[in-house]
Structure 1
């Protein structure tokens, strides 16, 4: 059995590929160091629309993956040979899944209830559905969705900052922790999604909820109600 975070990022910012390439080696070292402290045996690096191979440390396997921005939301592609780069929004979910399977990778619906309508596409042969560490309270909805599609449930933190790693993770039943073995375990359903309930994680969730509530208040102040402070017929949101 291995505890693996299937959804991590090596940096906290999007875009700026050249800057990211310089920062990523440091980011992955911090990610692996904190993953080890959290008791994880592996992390899958799923940067947005690009894949960079990283060396594993002595105690934490760094496994290949990519988070593809499709026309309907995000899809995690995990396995031995993920695509090196994809154009954000250029692929449909079906095309992303086909690409994953052509390259012997698993295709996973990422955060199905946040900025995504991928979950509505019943005909696409996904391999799993994710419980995302940034909103674990959606787990009952995600679990119901997975059961309706007869798909396994996996966990990933969606960490953009190293201290977020392990907020959600996956217990993988495999003899060895390799990219191919991980894909096989996902497809066979030999995986179990977990959400960390440590005191640190509980405090972190409270802090994020407070930030998000404050952001919504600021947005409401800065964005006038339609018809109040806006030209007639104009919605400033």
Structure 2
């Protein structure tokens, strides 16, 4: 199952995607099986867009991208209600209370809120405490413009035995599906999807959709192909068959 796990609507102050039937149809045309609706500190569009996606036979994961004090953000999935921004402790407590899934957003993107400050020897105890309460890292964010940022996230997720996810971080329609996550769930029910996350039966991919998008110039196309090969080679040696299949798909599309 292909799910874009980072998706914003007009409810996010920098988003432009409306919760209308045309959006649901576009998500389906992009070859996705669903999206996680992750507006900034808001969930008001989850119910409406979920109904529209269901009408197209698509999955909608109720979520939110919550800002914590001092800038970093956490992607929250399978929420029952909105989590307000606040201290790291209060946000983690709220996630735990809802038995939700927590993923650190674009952890190594130095342009936006990130988690780089904790990935140091001096703050290793703080990092260990944080990782005890989260399920994974956003391994591939299609809006991550920091050189090597996605690669670092993938390596840390693998080394720390955490889930690695992929998402477009779409703020406008053209970005939908530029990255996605393969989810090996027994059904499309939300509880089965959540169980797949917690059992680490997920893997990120960002190349199938990216390779199909016209990119300006040879260097951009070569970069996408190179990313495909790096992701495939970095993941295939250590991942189970389901994830190796995703990696092979990435390599195939990167060579187009």
Same fold (TM over 0.5): yes
Residue 87 of structure 2: aligned partner: 91
| Preserved contact between residue 4 and residue 40 of structure 1 (Cα < 8 Å) | yes
Cα distance in 2 for residues equivalent to 1:98 and 1:150 = 22
1:165-184 correspondence runs (5 A): 165-184=176-195
Q: CA deviation at 1:116?
A: 3.1
Residue 104 of structure 2: aligned partner: 109
The structure, 1 or 2, with the larger RCO (C-alpha pairs under 8 Å, 6+ apart) is 1
> Unmatched 5+ residue regions in structure 2?
119-126, 222-256
| Preserved contact between residue 76 and residue 102 of structure 2 (Cα < 8 Å) | yes
Cα distance in 2 for residues equivalent to 1:30 and 1:5 = 17
Cα distance in 2 for residues equivalent to 1:13 and 1:95 = 22
> Unmatched 5+ residue regions in structure 1?
208-237
What's the secondary structure of 2:87's corresponding residue?
A: coil
1:135 aligns with 2:144: yes
Residue 35 of structure 1: aligned partner: 27
Deviations 1:110-152 (A, max 9, x none): 1111223435233212101112111275322111121232101
Which residue, out of 191, 203, 222, partners 2:202? Answer: 191
Greater shift in the superposed pair: 55-64 or 125-134: 55-64
Q: TM-score w.r.t. structure 2 length?
A: 0.68
1:122 aligns with 2:128: yes
Query: Whose helix proportion is higher, 1 or 2?
Result: 2
In structure 2, relative to structure 1, the CA distance for the partners of 1:85 and 1:175 (3 Å cut) is same
Deviations 1:23-49 (A, max 9, x none): 87x435343222111110111110000
What's the secondary structure of 1:27's corresponding residue?
A: coil
Larger radius of gyration: 1
Total equivalences in the alignment? 196
